[in-house]
Chains A and B, each alone.
Chain A
């Protein structure tokens, strides 16, 4: 009579059999994305683990700065990149500040991969419309890069990405690549440009409505600040996306990452366990609106 979903297939990789013990990973490269966001490229100290480790786009992990604490972040690299993993972190509190102070060669802990992932089987063969705001692009980047590495399995790809100011745009090197690419259409916008900004201005939901990407055989994947997500859903519905074809990933305060500490629940679902990827259809049926 148990209503809890079976996730036993996700049990891989606990270190020494203990789910709370992190793997040791070494920072290989640090990239400044914005004035308060950095990307960390790292690989496991255990080379065998690095070779065998696998995850799916959308999953997250708990990263440790030993002595300070643990914090959950998405894995922002694609599983097709075999020699390292990436996470992108904004500096907002104790752990993230400590993480930002680390440099190349420093050791961090890694517990994961946790959570569910974007439904690749469902997405294959379809057109994808990515809608991202600010640091929300981090959560989608893994999937975008995965899709770009398997480009012929998907139809049309549209990306609409916005941030508050030009200096808040993340992954500029990726944005450049995608702009130059002929296999993807990307529109970047900012709420308010500066003197150097030559691109669009406007909030993401509004730009989305103007651009009006085709909904034919298409799925929308959305991530951004909660306010932006809530304003984007009605626009997507207006354009003709049905709720099962709108996918998003939610963020919550987390500690254990494995559905035991009780913190990240929305009703009976744990975002760390039954999410963080949800369809709009599921979200509409959430018993609680606390997300």
Chain B
């Protein structure tokens, strides 16, 4: 398995960084407590380094933890994570010199839910899942089955423009080229084809399931406000009760606040327990920003944040 050698290299580099005192923390992934899951590993202890893993289930965006840790951090970053880190650098929330970015070129992360559905099996019945190029091999009861990778990867991975981190200190693994699939825009296109009334009913149905757990906001590395606008009481922008309209407005305002900083990493949609297609909104916002300003968030740490500066050539025809 190609991931194994990357893992070994990662453990070696991470261990060295801690021993040499170059970082205070290592942030990476370790095996989760359920099959085919991982969980973030945040440690100062060199003995924990052997628990670091790289596999197709590294779902969290670890850049989120940079806001909480004080000191120098060695952080494992997939392509999308490194873009989030760049977004944070652009916003001056993280100092580049305090980071050692262990870049991991990523071939996409597998959605266990999609896989279970396609294989018509619960994860408890699956013995092993491995990735071979454009296929995913699923071992059920000793027998291997092949599934097309494009059908079991998360949608955010199908739209990934930078699978190899653009910003890194150490690159662990061979750089990869982007393989973008139009399937990633499936939900966006479906919505664009609907008339406004039907879009309204679509979102009413989706956001009626929202419980305002804020997992979307909290798993996002770019949502770093000390006090979120939903927590303001004077004035109270939206109620704290999970009424579908307010749930929807929360998401819309969140997207507007993140415009130019959101990299469509998909962490919000993966975190949502109610299966709400949040990426339809983030992807659309990302595309709008790209169209209007030719700006892709998180690609160049030397650039100022999009919404914090102004060019004379910016579109202005909406100003009357």
Q: Which residues of B contact A94 (CB under 8 A)?
A: 233-234, 236
A95 and chain B: residue at smallest CB distance: B233
A194, chain B: closest CB distance, angstroms: 30
Q: How far is the CA of A97 from the CA of B233 in the complex (A)?
A: 11
Q: How far is the CA of A94 from the CA of B231 in the complex (A)?
A: 12
B233 and chain A: residue at smallest CB distance: A94
B316, chain A: closest CB distance, angstroms: 38
A3 is an interface residue with CB less than 8 A from chain B:
no
Q: Which residues of A contact B234 (CB under 8 A)?
A: 93-94, 97
A84-131 residues with Cβ-Cβ distance < 8 A to B are 93-94, 97
B209-254 residues with Cβ-Cβ distance < 8 A to A are 233-234, 236
Q: Which residues of A contact B233 (CB under 8 A)?
A: 93-94
How many residue pairs at the A-B interface have CB separations less than 8 Å? Answer: 6
Mask, B241-272, CB within 8 Å of A = 1, is: 00000000000000000000000000000000
Q: Which residues of B contact A93 (CB under 8 A)?
A: 233-234
Q: How far is the CA of A93 from the CA of B235 in the complex (A)?
A: 10
Q: How far is the CA of A93 from the CA of B233 in the complex (A)?
A: 8
A241, chain B: closest CB distance, angstroms: 40
Q: Which residues of B contact A97 (CB under 8 A)?
A: 234
A274, chain B: closest CB distance, angstroms: 27
Q: How far is the CA of A94 from the CA of B240 in the complex (A)?
A: 14
Q: How far is the CA of A94 from the CA of B239 in the complex (A)?
A: 13
B235 and chain A: residue at smallest CB distance: A94
A93 and chain B: residue at smallest CB distance: B233
Q: How far is the CA of A143 from the CA of B233 in the complex (A)?
A: 33
B236 and chain A: residue at smallest CB distance: A94
Q: How far is the CA of A93 from the CA of B236 in the complex (A)?
A: 11
A64-94 residues with Cβ-Cβ distance < 8 A to B are 93-94
A123, chain B: closest CB distance, angstroms: 38
Q: How far is the CA of A94 from the CA of B234 in the complex (A)?
A: 6
Q: How far is the CA of A158 from the CA of B277 in the complex (A)?
A: 66
Q: Which residues of A contact B236 (CB under 8 A)?
A: 94
A69 and chain B: residue at smallest CB distance: B233
Mask, B129-149, CB within 8 Å of A = 1, is: 000000000000000000000
A92 and chain B: residue at smallest CB distance: B234
Q: How far is the CA of A34 from the CA of B233 in the complex (A)?
A: 24
Q: How far is the CA of A169 from the CA of B236 in the complex (A)?
A: 32
B136-186 residues with Cβ-Cβ distance < 8 A to A are none
B232 and chain A: residue at smallest CB distance: A94
Q: How far is the CA of A94 from the CA of B236 in the complex (A)?
A: 9
A92, chain B: closest CB distance, angstroms: 10
Q: How far is the CA of A97 from the CA of B235 in the complex (A)?
A: 11
B235, chain A: closest CB distance, angstroms: 9
A64, chain B: closest CB distance, angstroms: 16
B240, chain A: closest CB distance, angstroms: 11
Q: How far is the CA of A222 from the CA of B46 in the complex (A)?
A: 49
B104, chain A: closest CB distance, angstroms: 40
B237, chain A: closest CB distance, angstroms: 12
Q: How far is the CA of A93 from the CA of B234 in the complex (A)?
A: 7
Q: How far is the CA of A93 from the CA of B232 in the complex (A)?
A: 10
A256-289 residues with Cβ-Cβ distance < 8 A to B are none
B293, chain A: closest CB distance, angstroms: 38
Q: How far is the CA of A106 from the CA of B31 in the complex (A)?
A: 61
**Could you list some 5 contacts between A and B, CB below 8 A?**
A93-B233, A94-B233, A94-B234, A94-B236, A97-B234
Residues of B within 8 A of A (CB): 233-234, 236
